[in-house]
């Protein structure tokens, strides 16, 4: 009798982004993938996910070549939209607030990944929330640009 494969059902499995999140430090990051994913725990909750390769950092937690990710809870528009817009503005140094539209953001998550390969700078530090939880804040700035990003 043939034994069942350890991988039976793998074709139905969902994959998820990297689970190593930014820790305090200064980074130069190269964009690998930008997507919107469903929460694994809460159906109907979505996250904006950016996956990066570390180009350089002063963080003791990572080195060049490490994979890290940054997630934003899209159910919290009051904080999600400003944080995501700050990231999008760092992709190209010449874009303005008005250039960051829903259409431009939709284009960033399309299959062709127009921002893949762009570098951005990130500064990450920890704060304590009102609820007493640790939270890593990130500010973004431009590192290099390209002309094929849909802004």
CB of 136 closer than 8 Å to CB of 27: no
DSSP code per residue over 36-101: EEE-SSSTT-EEEEEEEEEEEE--TT--TT-EEEEEEETT-HHHHHHHHHHHHHHH-TT--GGG--
pLDDT at residue 149, as a whole number: 55
Cα radius of gyration (the chain): 17
Query: How many whole angstroms separate alpha carbon 29 and alpha carbon 123?
Result: 11
pLDDT in tens, 35-77: 999 888 888 889 999 999 999 999 999 999 999 999 999 998 8
pLDDT in tens, 79-108: 899 999 999 999 977 888 899 999 999 999
Cα 113 to chain centroid distance, Å, stands at: 13
Residue 6 has pLDDT above 80, yes or no: no
**Single pTM value for the model:** 0.82
Higher pLDDT, 18 or 114: 114
Closest CA to 87 of 129, 128, 57, 124: 124
Residue 9 has pLDDT above 80, yes or no: no
Q: Where residue 10 falls among pLDDT bands split at 50, 70, 90?
A: low
Mean pLDDT of the chain, nearest integer = 86
Cα 31 to chain centroid distance, Å, stands at: 8
């Amino acid at each position: 009798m043939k034994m069942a494969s350890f991988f039976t059902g793998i074709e139905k499995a969902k994959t998820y982004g990297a689970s190593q999140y930014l820790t305090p430090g200064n980074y130069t990051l190269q964009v690998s993938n930008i997507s919107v994913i469903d929460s694994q725990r809460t159906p109907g909750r979505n996250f904006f996910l950016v996956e990066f390769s570390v180009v350089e950092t002063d963080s003791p937690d990572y080195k060049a070549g490490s994979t890290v990710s940054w997630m934003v809870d899209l159910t919290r528009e009051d904080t999600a939209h400003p944080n995501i817009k700050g990231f999008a503005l760092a992709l190209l140094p010449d874009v303005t607030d008005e250039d960051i539209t829903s259409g431009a953001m939709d284009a960033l998550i399309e299959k062709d990944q127009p921002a893949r390969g762009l570098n951005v700078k990130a500064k990450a530090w920890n704060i304590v929330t009102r609820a007493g939880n640790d939270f890593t804040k990130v500010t973004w700035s431009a590192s290099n640009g390209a002309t094929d990003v849909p802004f």
